[in-house]
A and B are shown apart, each in its own frame.
Chain A
């Protein structure tokens, strides 16, 4: 479904993502890990069209490297932001209505109700997204908006960050169910190794913009180079 070939993102003299090649198949759940500043979010920006990149980004057989962000969203690349970006001044339901109308070209209120229920936002549907929601609800709204566009691939950028333990557990269950219910592939950035191990079939590791390891969670988290990149120490 998604193939990245030698994707590179440069900001002036800084190479934030360097020749990364990676693939995510239909229905796959792939984790993307790495220390802060490793280039994870920049890679998401490149895939979703927010950052200009070099190399090739192929989605569903089409090279989308030059496609604008809105077009990639309509093709089925959904994403969330690490810092939630709700559509301010709109209610939760209106956020989903806009996402569905522009992401899919149609309006299906039943589907929106389903998504609201799935993300536990039904009771907050009429609330103002900017002022009426707690952090966990804003994170759920990020996911709900992305789901409303009917994505084939979801890029989840640290959706669990900042949540307390129970909230994290609850959110993780929701993500697992989401994968089954909505038949959507997932590429997720997450720092918590336990979460990644529970959720993902494969893990890719970025370090200073380069892909340094890829494999099953067990393989990757025992890789000495990965441990060194995370802790700065040799594998014990």
Chain B
């Protein structure tokens, strides 16, 4: 209940206060938008990784497929941008359907197989030059449109769109997490037999989560392409779209809804604003060290550490 009381002021703060305070600063707004893009991918990854215990290195495929689908649909078929973004999510689902056979695998085998799939999509994007433009990429991708006098293509407009996408995905994640399906996902993480013996079709459930997760990631990829207006295979299918969200999801908090989001914002902003200014080259090394320290100090993530610290302070007071 306490959380819900805080929800409205928090929403007002992110929807109104951030554009009011930082709206004129393009650099800060770019960083905030980028951190939300990573937050969106981290949420979609967490649905599989944190909830279902399936460590996926293949989310760059969904991100890339979503990006290419939206770019091609808008530029070659004249589909409106917002509709194309939704269809890009569907395209990511189609790519995920091709990956369903790997759900039979577990642990590192699953992780490696899905990574291989992601690589296949990158090769496809490079070689299918008639559609994707090959390694030269696609330029002049339409930006987000003007709707009812609101310019969604502006920095603030982009921010509001990605914020809404991420919040909707967070609500979906939370709904799944609380449902019997979410409970079963958490349960099968530790014991496959304990869930199957009570009637849970583990493979189907994992498959459904893979599809939902791919849709989310595809939509985020589509948003990103209309934000940066350029696309090429090495960027769209970069491993960066997997590693930073994984770090964020683990760093922020294990199996929590806010964890991946907080992790993404903190990890990305601290990296870009603080660490990068001190160590311009190789600043990601510091992230690695911080992640290792976090796993040792608080395996449940940053939020758990903060809560522990607050409880200690309350007890001392």
Contact = CB atoms under 8 A, between A and B. Distances in A.
Interface of A: 48-50, 68-71, 73-74, 78-79, 81, 85-90, 94-95, 97-99, 101-104, 107, 130, 145-146, 148-149
Interface in B180-212: 180, 183-184, 186-187, 189-191, 193-202
A223 B191 CA distance: 40
A94 B183 contact: yes
B269 to A, nearest CB: 31
Closest 6 CB pairs of A and B: A87-B187, A99-B198, A101-B180, A73-B199, A103-B199, A102-B199
B183 A73 contact: no
A90 to B, nearest CB: 6
Give the residue among B193, B195, B199, B200 with the most A Cβ atoms within 10 A: B199
Interface string B159-195: 0000000000000000000001001101101110111
B197 A89 contact: no
Nearest to A149: B198
Give the residue among B180, B187, B198 with the most A Cβ atoms within 10 A: B198
Contact of A98 (B189, B200, B201): B200
A98 B197 contact: no
Nearest to A84: B194
Nearest to B198: A99
A48 B197 contact: yes
Nearest to A80: B197
Contacts of B202: 70
Given A94-B183, A97-B180, A98-B184, A87 B191 contact: yes
A87 B199 contact: no
Nearest to B193: A85
A90 B183 contact: yes
A148 B190 contact: no
Contacts of A86: 194
B197 A79 contact: yes
Given A85-B191, A87-B187, A88-B187, A98 B180 contact: yes
A119 to B, nearest CB: 15
A50 B196 CA distance: 9
B187 A98 contact: yes
A3 B186 CA distance: 35
Contacts of B193: 50, 69, 81, 85
A104 B193 CA distance: 18
A89 B189 contact: yes
Given A88-B187, A88-B190, A89-B186, A73 B196 contact: yes
Contacts of B197: 48, 50, 69, 73, 78-79, 81, 85, 146
A146 to B, nearest CB: 8
B198 A103 contact: yes
A77 B124 CA distance: 47
Given A87-B187, A88-B194, 20 more contacts: A48-B197, A50-B197, A69-B196, A70-B196, A70-B200, A85-B194, A85-B197, A86-B194, A87-B183, A87-B184, A87-B191, A89-B187, A89-B190, A90-B183, A98-B180, A98-B200, A102-B200, A102-B201, A103-B198, A146-B198
A104 to B, nearest CB: 8
21 contacts: A69-B193, A69-B196, A70-B196, A70-B202, A71-B201, A73-B196, A73-B199, A78-B197, A86-B194, A87-B187, A87-B191, A87-B194, A88-B194, A95-B187, A98-B183, A99-B198, A101-B180, A101-B184, A102-B195, A102-B199, A104-B199
Contacts of B200: 70, 98, 102
A62 B186 CA distance: 32
Interface string B106-143: 00000000000000000000000000000000000000
Nearest to A97: B180
